């Protein structure tokens, strides 16, 4: 054995090595070794790596006089004078030790590589005699004077970073240098570098350089780092045509247009400079980092250039790499892995880009555009406008140019938490520090909105719209329709309550509030404080960086903690992305007009909204798109509620959000409705009897139906079912496992409340009867099939069971509806388990479960899996098929949502292309399935796939029959020809004069055998060689 590598093996005892006297190369780096004296016996060693250990005494090495390479980096060595005896050393690494004296190196004239970084060396004059050095690292020492290095003309790599060097004139004669690292020193003048033409890599970062004109002749440079200096003019760099990497961040650069000449440039960083005008956004299909520059304005041309940074085939790889790096930086590792997997298959020779994959890229590309505005601190446009798309951005920029700008300093402050947490008390005292606190029995029903005004240090006035949500759990399903982005959330919990439901509130805010900050407040009831141990899982999760440190509040005790909390809220409001963003002047005028209008009207038609806008400024709101752009912007900020994407809500604009909330909560809170979970026609009239509701019944009914809060009864369209107020599924109604039942289970990391309630609303036409709906379950029917879906919130599971002739078609319909419902929830992670359907598991309440993603993965390499319960071998495709799933991924999916117009009884559809990518299921579009009485029976997706499955089974059966037939066919030919041969030979050679009765029988038998063997031959021909007859045979097999 001559070479042995034991690096990073966590070894401490290596005495066994002393017997390996033939070793020439030994690597013991990155271990926990302290005692190695026995190595002195390995006199044949030529290369020895001992870096990153705990060695302090190495004097024994003087006996290994054959060493040529020695690495001792990161140990505890201080005295190494004995190394002067190793005159044959050519490479020596002594970095990261405690060395002060290197005089012993004077006699080591054979050294070509020497690393002395991170020591305590001040005097290195002894190195002047080591003329053979080609690589020298003296970084991170305390060196200032190094003029004597001028004689080391063979140096190709010199590292002098992190010292105290100011004068680099000694470099003038080092013409062979190709790599030079001088970062973190005190250098001002770099003119001496103009003659070092062989340089390919140069690092001058973190110095005091302002003039770089002398670098223009270094045309071989491929990497140049000039970051953290005082550079203003970079025009000389345009001559460095071979540059691939250029870092100019943290300087004083204003004009950076010159880098457009550098055609080979692949990486550039211009962040933290003085750039005010965007002259270049994308170079060589790479986005140029420009964050923290005082960019005043983005011209229309510049933004068109940004928007043209599209995803197209020739640009896919750099785009994916850029997006992947962005996602990794934000610690969204699962999404980065998704892009990585797509990248792998994208660049296979036989791969074609599918719609689904471009949807993935477009999702991240849009996110990139949104991130871009935050990334470089653009004054325009606001993120809310960017989200709406390219045309809206361009329209917005045109309006800015023609109208001028104004500012909106208004935001939404949302108080959330369970009932009794102190939200209403906080709202009261924020608005008026001395107002009386509400009584304990007074709880918020629905929502209460008030307004709070404050000023910053510059005397800018801000307005916070404080939304106080009712915290009772019955309100949970409604919260998601009023939790919006660009808000500051205050999540409150009282010390008198043990359970705070953080596992509901924090993920829900994250899903619907985006990156809005969450301030946690502990209400110290009776001066008690408590440790919130249930917050650890959120603070440790990179998705919840929106969580801020928590505050303690005791309002009855002279507003203890209120002032500190108010300051924190003010800072978070001021830092919201839209605050202080310039908007067209006309928008601010419309906001003021709406504030006046909402004092009179809670809700107006969209036509009235257009009228308000045109009254303020007819010229700038003459086009429909102008009004829509403003409406969407105000809706994103929570100033109005306008559901422009909902077909039966888009014609109304709600100026008072609390008006809509109160209408919904009146239904949910009503005692009569709570008793039975049914909203009768008379209930609507009774509960919405106030003047503000009377003319809006149809709008409000559509709202609770579109938001899947309630839906019409099956046979009484004027009455609605409110699933959240129904009883739970009774045990006697819960399906037991029976034969031929399709089963599927969803498992969630976090499961939003009321998924099955929303599923009931979405598939209300398939509900078996009005009595087949509960608050946690529902029974569906389709043709001759039935299904039961049950939600177990505490176990975070949804169970789907179905049986009947078209059970699989019904399950596919349910899967699609679940997908549609979950697509509204951001960041919900879930997966499907496929229950085993062997004879034992099919009757078992706890069958073996196979994760659906794993089945797809296994299907690539094998066809079967084994049940853990019965050890039965199961076909993967049959498991997937029998669970109602697909074993393939289709190209795209379009989400269709249907509701029923209660006033006309006609079906209405709201088609929305959500561009969401499901983490588990991708089912082909399933149209709403009509009842048999409405339309003739059409072939369902399940039936189509069943046909394919049957055809495969028939093909396998035919193949099996053919193989059997072939054996019979060959045997028949053999027997026939054997009989004919015997018959022919004996017939002609027979002596007829000696004819006996037995001979006649033998000949008749031979003849009959030949004739009878003809029948199998004829059958084989008919079944497998005559195509017209094979078709009939296949039909018979299908019916088996």
Query: How large is the average pLDDT for residues 953-963?
Result: 65
Q: What is the pLDDT of residue 614?
A: 94
> What's the rounded Cα separation, in Å, for the pair 134 and 126?
16
Other CB atoms closer than 10 Å to residue 985's CB: what's the count?
Answer: 10
**Overall average pLDDT of the 753-772 stretch:** 88
**pLDDT given for residue 376 in this prediction:** 45
* Over residues 1010-1038, mean pLDDT: 56
Percentage of the residues of the chain whose pLDDT score is greater than 70: 72
Please give the pLDDT value at position 943. Answer: 44
- Phi, psi angle pair for 799, to nearest 5°: -110, 130
Specify the fold of 723-883: TATA-Binding Protein (3.30.310)
Q: Exposed, middle or buried: residue 18 (CB in 10 Å: 0-12, 13-18, 19+)?
A: middle
Residue 741 and residue 760: Cα distance in Å, rounded? Answer: 21
Higher pLDDT, 158 or 999: 158
Give the other-Cβ count within 10 Å of 818's Cβ. 26
Find all residues with CB under 8 Å of 563, minimum gap 6, and list them: none
Is pLDDT of 892 > 50? no
Contact by Cβ (8 Å): 668, 775: no
DSSP 181-210: E--SS-----GGGGG-TT-SEEE--SS---
- Least confident span in 347-351, 606-610, 721-725, 910-914: 910-914
Q: Which helix (H) or strand (E) holds 900?
A: strand 895-900
Q: What is the pLDDT of residue 429?
A: 92
Cα–Cα distance measured from residue 141 to residue 114, given in angstroms and rounded to the nearest whole number: 14
Average pLDDT over residues 720-745: 84
| Number of other CB atoms surrounding residue 883 within 10 Å | 24
In the prediction, which pLDDT does 606 show? 94
Average pLDDT of the chain, as a whole number: 78
pLDDT at 773: 93
Is residue 586 within 8 Å of 617, Cβ to Cβ? yes
Task: Please tell me the distance from the alpha carbon of residue 749 to that of residue 254, in angstroms, as a whole number.
Answer: 49
pLDDT for 567 equals 93
- Does residue 917 have a pLDDT over 60? no
Q: Which residue has the higher pLDDT, 671 or 541?
A: 671
pLDDT beyond 50 at 577: yes
Q: Do domains 1-112 and 723-883 have the same CATH topology?
A: no
- How confident is the model at residue 366, as a pLDDT? 55
Boundaries of every domain in the chain: 1-112, 324-351, 410-579, 723-883
Strand 282-283 to strand 286-287: parallel, antiparallel, or no bridges (unpaired)? antiparallel
Between 248 and 371, the more confident residue is 248
Confidence of residue 239 (pLDDT cuts 50, 70, 90): very high
Can you give the pLDDT at residue 860?
78
Q: What is the pLDDT of residue 996?
A: 52
pLDDT band with cut points at 50, 70 and 90 for residue 191: very high
- CA 805 distance to own-chain centroid: 39
Identify the pLDDT of residue 378.
Answer: 46
100-139 residue pLDDT tens: 888 888 888 899 999 999 988 888 888 888 889 999 999 9
DSSP letters for 438-491: PPTT----SEEEEEEEEE-TT--EEEEEEEEE---GGGHHHHTTT--SSEEEEE
CATH of domain 410-579: 3.40.50.300
The residue whose two tokens read 């005010």 is 276
pLDDT above 50 for 375: no
Q: What is the pLDDT of residue 1013?
A: 63
Nearest C-alpha neighbor of 354 from the set 346, 343, 366: 346
pLDDT digits (tens, 9 = 90+) for 833-883: 888 878 788 777 778 888 887 887 788 788 888 888 888 888 888 787 767
CA-CA distance, 240 to 234, in Å (whole number)?
11
- Region 379-407: mean pLDDT is 72
Name the CA radius of gyration of the chain, rounded: 40
Cα–Cα–Cα angle for 798, 799, 803, rounded to 5 degrees = 150
% helix, strand, coil for the chain, step of 5: 40, 15, 45
Q: Please give the Cα distance from 503 to 501 (Å, whole number).
A: 5
Taking only the tens place, the pLDDT of each residue in 970-1016 is 766 666 666 656 655 555 555 555 555 555 666 666 666 666 666 66
| Largest CA-CA distance found in the chain, in angstroms, rounded | 141
Residue 381: asked if its preceding bond is cis (omega within 30°), the reply is yes
Q: What is the DSSP letter of 500?
A: -
Backbone angles phi and psi of 873, in degrees to 5: -85, 125
CATH number for 1-112 (one of 3.50.50.60, 1.20.120.1200, 3.80.10.10, 3.40.50.80): it is 3.80.10.10
Q: What is the pLDDT of residue 931?
A: 30
pLDDT tens for each residue of 291-336 = 778 876 565 555 555 555 444 344 456 556 666 666 666 566 666 6
Residue pair 93/115 in contact (Cβ under 8 Å)? The answer is: yes
CB neighbourhood size of 743 (10 A):
24
């Amino acid at each position: 054995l001559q070479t042995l590598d034991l690096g990073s093996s966590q070894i401490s005892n290596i005495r066994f090595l002393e017997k390996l006297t033939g070793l020439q190369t030994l690597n013991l780096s990155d271990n926990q070794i302290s005692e190695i004296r026995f190595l002195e016996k390995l006199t044949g060693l030529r290369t020895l790596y001992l870096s990153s250990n705990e060695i302090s005494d190495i004097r024994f090495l003087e006996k290994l006089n054959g060493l040529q390479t020695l690495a001792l980096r990161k140990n505890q060595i201080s005295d190494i004078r004995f190394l002067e005896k190793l005159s044959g050393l050519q490479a020596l690494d002594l970095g990261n030790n405690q060395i002060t004296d290197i005089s012993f190196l004077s006699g080591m004239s054979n050294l070509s590589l020497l690393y002395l970084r991170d020591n305590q060396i001040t005097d290195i004059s002894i190195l002047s005699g080591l003329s053979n050095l080609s690589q020298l690292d003296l970084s991170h020492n305390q060196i200032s004077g190094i003029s004597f290095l001028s004689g080391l003309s063979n140096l190709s790599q010199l590292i002098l970073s992190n010292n105290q060097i100011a004068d680099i004139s000694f470099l003038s004669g080092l013409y062979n240098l190709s790599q030079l690292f001088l970062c973190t020193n005190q250098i001002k003048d770099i003119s001496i570098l103009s003659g070092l033409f062989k340089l390919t890599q140069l690092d001058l970062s973190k110095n005091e350089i302002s003039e770089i004109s002398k670098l223009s002749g270094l045309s071989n440079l491929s990497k140049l780092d000039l970051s953290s200096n005082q550079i203003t003019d970079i025009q000389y760099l345009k001559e460095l045509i071979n540059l691939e990497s250029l870092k100019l961040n943290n300087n004083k650069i204003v004009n950076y247009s010159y880098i457009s000449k550098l055609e080979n440039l692949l990486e550039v960083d211009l962040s933290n400079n003085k750039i005010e005008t965007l002259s270049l956004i994308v170079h060589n299909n790479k986005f140029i980092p420009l964050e923290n520059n005082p960019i005043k304005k983005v011209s229309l041309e510049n933004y068109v250039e940004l928007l043209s940074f599209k995803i197209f085939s020739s640009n896919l790889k750099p785009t994916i790499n850029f997006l992947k790096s962005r996602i990794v930086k934000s610690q969204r590792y699962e999404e980065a892995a998704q892009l990585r997997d797509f990248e792998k298959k994208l660049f296979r020779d036989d791969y074609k880009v599918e719609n689904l994959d471009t949807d993935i890229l477009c999702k991240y590309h849009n996110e990139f555009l949104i991130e871009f505005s935050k990334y470089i601190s653009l004054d325009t446009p606001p993120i809310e406008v960017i989200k709406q798309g390219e045309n809206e951005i361009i329209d917005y920029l045109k309006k800015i140019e023609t109208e001028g700008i104004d500012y909106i300093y208004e935001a939404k402050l949302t108080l959330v938490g369970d009932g009794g947490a102190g939200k209403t008390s906080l709202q009261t005292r924020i608005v008026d520090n001395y107002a009386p606190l509400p009584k304990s029995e007074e709880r918020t029903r629905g929502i209460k909105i008030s307004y709070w005004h404050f000023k910053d240090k510059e005397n800018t006035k801000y307005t916070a719209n404080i939304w106080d949500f009712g915290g009772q759990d019955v309100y949970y399903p409604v919260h998601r329709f009023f939790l919006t982005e660009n808000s500051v959330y205050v999540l409150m919990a009282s010390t008198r309550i043990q359970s705070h439901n953080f596992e509901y509130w924090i993920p829900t805010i994250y899903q619907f509030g985006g990156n809005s900050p969450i301030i946690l407040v502990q209400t110290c009831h009776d001066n008690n404080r408590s440790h919130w141990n249930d917050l650890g899982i959120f603070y440790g999760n990179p998705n919840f960086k929106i969580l801020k440190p928590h505050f303690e509040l005791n309002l009855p005790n002279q507003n203890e903690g209120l002032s500190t909390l108010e300051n924190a809220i003010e800072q978070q409001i001021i830092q919201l992305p839209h605050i202080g963003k310039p908007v067209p002047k006309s928008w601010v005028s419309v906001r003021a007009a709406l504030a006046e209008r909402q004092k009179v009207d809670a809700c107006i038609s969209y036509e009235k909204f257009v009228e308000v806008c045109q009254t303020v400024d007819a010229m700038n709101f003459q086009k429909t798109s102008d009004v829509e752009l403003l409406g969407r912007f105000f809706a994103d900020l929570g100033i109005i509620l306008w559901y422009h994407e909902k077909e039966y809500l888009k014609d109304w604009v709600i100026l008072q959000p609390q008006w809509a909330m109160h209408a919904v909560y009146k239904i949910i809170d009503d005692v009569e409705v709570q008793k039975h979970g049914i909203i009768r026609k008379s209930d609507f009239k009774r509960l919405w009897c106030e003047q503000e509701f009377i003319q809006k019944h149809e709008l409000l009914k559509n709202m609770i139906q579109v938001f899947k809060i309630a839906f019409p009864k099956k046979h009484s369209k004027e009455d609605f079912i409110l699933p959240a107020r129904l009883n739970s599924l009774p045990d006697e109604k819960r399906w037991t496992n029976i034969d031929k039942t399709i089963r599927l289970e969803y498992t969630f990391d976090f499961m939003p409340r009321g998924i099955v309630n929303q599923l009931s609303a979405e598939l209300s036409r398939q509900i078996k009867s009005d009595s087949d709906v509960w608050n946690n379950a529902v029974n569906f029917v389709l043709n001759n099939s039935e299904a039961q879906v049950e939600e177990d919130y505490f176990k975070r599971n949804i169970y789907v069971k179905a049986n009947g002739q078209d059970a699989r078609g019904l399950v596919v319909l349910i899967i699609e509806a679940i997908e549609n419902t979950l697509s509204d929830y951001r960041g919900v992670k879930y997966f499907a388990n496929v229950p085993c359907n062997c004879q034992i598991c099919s009757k078992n309440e706890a069958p073996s479960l196979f994760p659906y993603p794993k089945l797809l993965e296994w299907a690539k390499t094998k066809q079967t899996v084994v049940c853990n319960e019965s050890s039965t071998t199961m076909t993967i495709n049959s498991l997937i098929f029998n669970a109602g799933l697909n074993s393939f991924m289709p190209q795209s999916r379009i989400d269709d949502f249907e509701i029923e117009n209660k006033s006309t009884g006609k079906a209405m559809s709201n088609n929305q292309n959500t561009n969401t990518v499901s983490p588990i299921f991708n089912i082909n579009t399933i149209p709403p399935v009509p009842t048999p009485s409405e339309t003739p029976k059409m072939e369902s997706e399940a039936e189509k796939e069943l046909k394919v499955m049957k055809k495969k089974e028939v093909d396998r059966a035919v193949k099996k029959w053919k193989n059997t037939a072939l054996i019979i066919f060959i045997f028949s030919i053999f027997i026939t020809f054997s009989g004919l041969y015997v018959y022919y030979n004996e017939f002609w050679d027979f002596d007829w004069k000696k004819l006996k009765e037995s001979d006649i029988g033998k000949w008749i038998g031979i003849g009959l055998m030949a004739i009878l063997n003809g029948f199998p031959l004829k059958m084989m021909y008919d079944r497998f060689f005559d195509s017209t007859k094979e078709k009939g045979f296949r039909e018979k097999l299908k019916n088996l």
